[in-house]
Structure 1
């Protein structure tokens, strides 16, 4: 692990902000590192308001989208809500279809089959729309590159509205409206919305046109917060406001489907991390193992008993998903070792029988062992399909673009993408990808980095300090949970390896004559020797609470330790 200490803001700025907010210097420093420099900005950060959300009509084509949908509602047209099979796509479809059904009955949903149709807008979906007299398709979390598909729909008399957040290509589809804050000609103030976030802005615009306020739409925010967490978009600006209020809905009055998922766990209060690791994988499991329709059905169901039944089905899909991804990860690691590819700067693996629904998870798992840009391929019809994942700081989308002569189709983000190619191009692509990464990556990026906010002493850690830290949530990219470093630590003699195979580390540390604090380090069991016999060590960690038998105490969530 590389430990990188973030630059310290100017001392005068720290002092000024600390005085104006009446907080400790450490809190002021954390705020400044997040670009919060004034009392007003801090107030907005700590006390988000739905009034902070931008006017949806600032988004390019929003007026056209609203006009076309209002026209469809007035004429009683059949509207098809189309979305991708992942969390962002299925929550988007659930949100848009739920809202439209409050205005018109002739609304249906369509999620493409991951295996038969693949990602995004499909010919099969357009044919379904044509055969069933749908004259308008609203595509969510996909469509920005569907130039041929949208043209095909137009030939059949079907209009398209696209709500996407992926990077557009050089040409845009010939749709009635394209809502995508990443369009070069779109000057919307915030361009990091997820697909469900773009869908919510369209709902916000439609609702305002119908005389409703933002407060009338809060019931939809549990879906938006789930998508924000699952799609790993920055939790800054508008996303942070949407996630903040969405988590309130999840904890106080979630829709029946999300409540049914949470009821299967023992969680009392959900954080955005819980959404990412508990709710999102289960919603995703439907599209991975069976069909994304199961997720939309769960998320739109209003009867709690039925929702429990659907959630139990999805729980089984999730168990199957776990089993598949563990097995494939082991096979992929063996493939890397067997072909002696440890010295490469990329991991590119393939087996024709690997389950297409879990190859993205497997790519992420491989990065845990070999920290480098990774692609996992499987057979999909007469093509090979892959999921790509990257390391922090390296844009895998750009790397794929540089290898596009070997690829049939690709799309995605900086850190996650998908692609298809012909099997005869696999070896040439594999070498081209290795060459591109070798020529462009900073070698330092191949060592995992922990970005440390600041150095503090144990005496700085107090219940009051932690109460303010908790108000920095929800955490995520752009606003990660603060990481601290403390030096000259000693274990009090109770440190030991815990868990199966002694994988984890538990210790009770002190710094000189400071208070003693318990620390738990997951997957740090191999560093037990660093703390034995009261040897001095340093640690990087976040701070959280330990709840045990009715008692609450602060503890360190250790990220790494060094002698």
Structure 2
């Protein structure tokens, strides 16, 4: 890993903020690094308020969306809430459908089949709407590129309201309303909402028209916080407020579906990281292994016994998903070695029988191993489908755009995308993708970066310091858990490899005459020689708590060790 220490902010601003807040300069430094420079900004940061949320009608087309939905309700039309099969899509559908059903009965949901229909709005979904008398489809977390599909629906007298957060193409679909803060002509102040976040803005706008307060919508924020965590959007601005309150709901009064999941994993207080690693994979597993409908059913269920049955079914999907992901990752790594492709700038692998539901996870695993833009392909009907993942700082969406002559369809974000192409174009695409990436990527991006917030001494790590640090949560992109670096460390002689297969490193360190701290480094056994060799070393780590037999102590969760 290459370590980069963040530049020190202006001493004057840090000292001023430190005095204003009555905190030490290290806490003030961490705040200024996050763009928090005044007392008021710090107040918003530490005490997010629902009143800080923006007016939903600042979003382009929001008035049109609300008007059309109100017309549908007045005329007793059937409304179909349509969403993608991942966490962001299924939580969005659960959110909007349960909100509308709270006061209007003619609402149904539709999640496309990952294998039969693929990503986003499908012709089959529109035919389903026509066959069942739906005259309005509200699409969530998809639809921004569904130009032909929306036109097809229009011929059948079916209107569309689109709520998306993906990057639009040059042309927008001719829907009644297109809500997407990334539209160039949309002046909405916050651009980084997830799909469920855009769905929340829609129910906020509908609620305002019905004379409801923001507090009346709190019960939906567990879904929004889950989507924010799972979709890896920045936890800044409006997302920070939504995630903050959503976590409160998850930890105090979660919906029945979440209660059923949490009963199985026996976890007390959840952080956004727990949501990402405990709740999100289980919701995702439904769409990956079976059908996204299972997730929506669980998330909208109000009976705990029924929810418990659905949750155990989803638990099984998650177990199957883990098994498939492990096997495919091993096969893909073997393919890279056999084809002698370790030296390439990109990873592109393909096997026709790989499970389409887990290729995105496999792409992430391969990126962790080789640290370069990665595509994992499988056969999907007559075509090949792929999931793309990128490395920090490189826009894989733009790279795919440069290869579009070989691609049938693609969409996504800077760091994650999906595409389909014809099998005959695979080799040409693979060569072009390698060419585009190798010509445009900065070589240093091919080495993982460890961003260090600041260098500190062990004497600075106190219970009071950690209490303040905890208040920086929820952590995530744009507000990452601070990584610290300390030099001149020595192991006190207790260092050893631990864990069933001895792959983890546990050390007890001291800096001069400082207090001793336990450091734990997961999958860091290879660093034992440096840490336990009797020489001084430097370590990068985050500070967290360790609870053992009722005693809570501060520990260092090691990220890397260097001589």
Offset of residue 501 of structure 1:
2.8
Query: How far apart, CA to CA, are the structure 2 residues paired with 1:420 and 1:502?
Result: 42
- Equivalence for 1:319: 319
Q: Is the 1:84–1:142 contact (alpha carbons within 8 Å) kept by the matching residues of 2?
A: yes
Q: Is the 2:531–2:561 contact (alpha carbons within 8 Å) kept by the matching residues of 1?
A: no
- Equivalence for 2:410: 410
Q: Would you say 1:367 and 2:367 are equivalent positions?
A: yes
Offset of residue 335 of structure 1:
0.3
Query: Which stretches in structure 1 are left out of the alignment for 5+ residues?
Result: none
Query: How far apart, CA to CA, are the structure 2 residues paired with 1:368 and 1:232?
Result: 16
- Equivalence for 1:20: 20
Query: How far apart, CA to CA, are the structure 2 residues paired with 1:23 and 1:503?
Result: 39
- Equivalence for 1:234: 234
Offset of residue 254 of structure 1:
0.2
Correspondence 1:158-173 to 2 at 5 A: 158-173=158-173
- Equivalence for 1:562: 562
Query: How far apart, CA to CA, are the structure 2 residues paired with 1:22 and 1:229?
Result: 31
Q: SS of 1:508's equivalent?
A: strand
Offset of residue 265 of structure 1:
1.1
- Equivalence for 1:6: 6
- Equivalence for 1:291: 291
Q: Would you say 1:523 and 2:523 are equivalent positions?
A: yes
Q: SS of 1:215's equivalent?
A: helix
Q: Is the 2:17–2:37 contact (alpha carbons within 8 Å) kept by the matching residues of 1?
A: yes
Q: SS of 2:211's equivalent?
A: coil
Correspondence 1:175-324 to 2 at 5 A: 175-324=175-324
Q: Is the 1:73–1:103 contact (alpha carbons within 8 Å) kept by the matching residues of 2?
A: no
Q: Is the 1:493–1:533 contact (alpha carbons within 8 Å) kept by the matching residues of 2?
A: no
Q: Would you say 1:381 and 2:378 are equivalent positions?
A: no
Offset of residue 499 of structure 1:
1.4
Aligned length: 563
Cα deviation digits, residues 337-392 of structure 1 (max 9, x gap): 00000010000000000000000000000112111000000000000000000000
Q: Is the 1:333–1:366 contact (alpha carbons within 8 Å) kept by the matching residues of 2?
A: yes
Query: How far apart, CA to CA, are the structure 2 residues paired with 1:266 and 1:82?
Result: 32
Cα deviation digits, residues 131-190 of structure 1 (max 9, x gap): 000000000000000000000000000000000000000000000000000000000000
Stretches (4+) displaced over 6 A = none
What's the TM-score once normalised by structure 1's chain length? 1.00
Offset of residue 536 of structure 1:
0.6
- Equivalence for 1:46: 46
- Equivalence for 2:474: 474
Q: SS of 2:265's equivalent?
A: coil
Cα deviation digits, residues 446-471 of structure 1 (max 9, x gap): 00000000000000000000000000
What's the TM-score once normalised by structure 2's chain length? 1.00
Offset of residue 266 of structure 1:
2.2
Q: Would you say 1:131 and 2:134 are equivalent positions?
A: no
Offset of residue 503 of structure 1:
1.0
- Equivalence for 1:101: 101
Q: SS of 2:302's equivalent?
A: coil
Query: How far apart, CA to CA, are the structure 2 residues paired with 1:547 and 1:524?
Result: 21
Offset of residue 502 of structure 1:
1.8
- Equivalence for 1:506: 506
Q: SS of 1:507's equivalent?
A: strand
- Equivalence for 1:83: 83
Query: How far apart, CA to CA, are the structure 2 residues paired with 1:533 and 1:562?
Result: 12
- Equivalence for 1:457: 457
Q: SS of 2:276's equivalent?
A: helix
Query: How far apart, CA to CA, are the structure 2 residues paired with 1:550 and 1:329?
Result: 39
Query: How far apart, CA to CA, are the structure 2 residues paired with 1:398 and 1:163?
Result: 23
Cα deviation digits, residues 98-130 of structure 1 (max 9, x gap): 000012101000000000000000000000000
Query: How far apart, CA to CA, are the structure 2 residues paired with 1:201 and 1:531?
Result: 51
Query: How far apart, CA to CA, are the structure 1 residues paired with 2:37 and 2:18?
Result: 10
Q: SS of 2:540's equivalent?
A: strand
Cα deviation digits, residues 430-449 of structure 1 (max 9, x gap): 00000000000000000000
Query: How far apart, CA to CA, are the structure 2 residues paired with 1:486 and 1:501?
Result: 28
Query: How far apart, CA to CA, are the structure 1 residues paired with 2:93 and 2:532?
Result: 54
Q: Would you say 1:335 and 2:343 are equivalent positions?
A: no
Offset of residue 10 of structure 1:
1.0
Query: How far apart, CA to CA, are the structure 2 residues paired with 1:313 and 1:138?
Result: 28
Q: Is the 1:406–1:421 contact (alpha carbons within 8 Å) kept by the matching residues of 2?
A: yes
Query: How far apart, CA to CA, are the structure 1 residues paired with 2:399 and 2:85?
Result: 25
Q: SS of 2:501's equivalent?
A: helix
Query: How far apart, CA to CA, are the structure 1 residues paired with 2:397 and 2:280?
Result: 23
Offset of residue 534 of structure 1:
2.2
Query: How far apart, CA to CA, are the structure 2 residues paired with 1:499 and 1:555?
Result: 17
Query: How far apart, CA to CA, are the structure 1 residues paired with 2:168 and 2:213?
Result: 31
Q: Is the 2:487–2:539 contact (alpha carbons within 8 Å) kept by the matching residues of 1?
A: yes
Query: How far apart, CA to CA, are the structure 2 residues paired with 1:73 and 1:457?
Result: 62
Q: Would you say 1:430 and 2:402 are equivalent positions?
A: no
Query: How far apart, CA to CA, are the structure 1 residues paired with 2:155 and 2:227?
Result: 33
Query: How far apart, CA to CA, are the structure 2 residues paired with 1:325 and 1:488?
Result: 41
Cα deviation digits, residues 59-88 of structure 1 (max 9, x gap): 000000000000111111000000000000
Q: C-alpha root-mean-square deviation of aligned residues, in Å?
A: 0.5
Q: Is the 2:506–2:521 contact (alpha carbons within 8 Å) kept by the matching residues of 1?
A: yes
